[in-house]
Amino acid sequence: MRALHDIFHSGELEAQDKFNKERNWTDRSLASLNHMFKEAIDDSTAYVIEGQKFFFIATSSKDGACDCSFRGTEEDDSGQLLQSVFVESPKKLIFPDYSGNHIYNSLGNMISNPNIGILFIDFKSAFRLRINGSAKIIDDSNTYHHIWPKALRYIEVNVEQVYFNCPKRIKESVCV
């Protein structure tokens, strides 16, 4: 069983100490945290991830300049929506990078600091899934051309942490 410092980073532990004075992680609650914070994507979670039409990524430069970006997908030539993410293995997922505003906030951050956070939200079923890991830019547009023919490059994420969040504050919503 992983210890608290293997699940949470030092800032998270410090915040827990400061803002939750009654915190008392028992063996049972530590086992629950180990179950909640997974280190890889299982088959059922991969199915959920690959069914999402969009997600958000968070990156920061080595100096801490942050960026949060929406990531959607494209349609193929027949008008069929392509998948937004491909789970290549329990520890690796891939998503496409399409033409954008030519500012390259996220890619620039990935170059100087590979840490990435990914947030999937399904407003209809009220779920949230977070994935944290490290990103690598795949600059060969042919690598996953069979999945995303219009992508310019791809982002490979080495998965380090996977966990579902409480859906309590997600209200059912449908985009019009």
- What digits encode the pLDDT tens for the residues 118-167? 999 988 888 899 999 999 999 999 999 999 999 999 999 999 999 987 76
Question: So what CATH class is 43-165?
Answer: mainly beta
Q: What is the pLDDT of residue 101?
A: 85
In which band, very low, low, confident or very high, does the pLDDT at 106 lie, cut at 50, 70 and 90?
Answer: very high
What would the DSSP string read from start to end of the chain? Answer: ---HHHHS-HHHHHHHHHH-TT----HHHHHHHHHHSBSS--HHHHHHHHT-S-EEEEEE-TT--EEEEEE---B-TTSPBPPS-EEEETTEEEEEE----S--HHHHHHHH--EEEEEEEETTTTEEEEEEEEEEEE--TTTTTTT-TT-SEEEEEEEEEEEEEP-TT-------
Q: What is the pLDDT of residue 173?
A: 56
Average pLDDT over every residue of 34-48: 93
- What digits encode the pLDDT tens for the residues 52-91? 999 999 999 999 999 999 999 899 889 999 999 999 999 9
Whether this prediction's pTM lies above 0.85 is answered by yes
- Going from N- to C-terminal start, the domains of the chain cover 4-36, 43-165
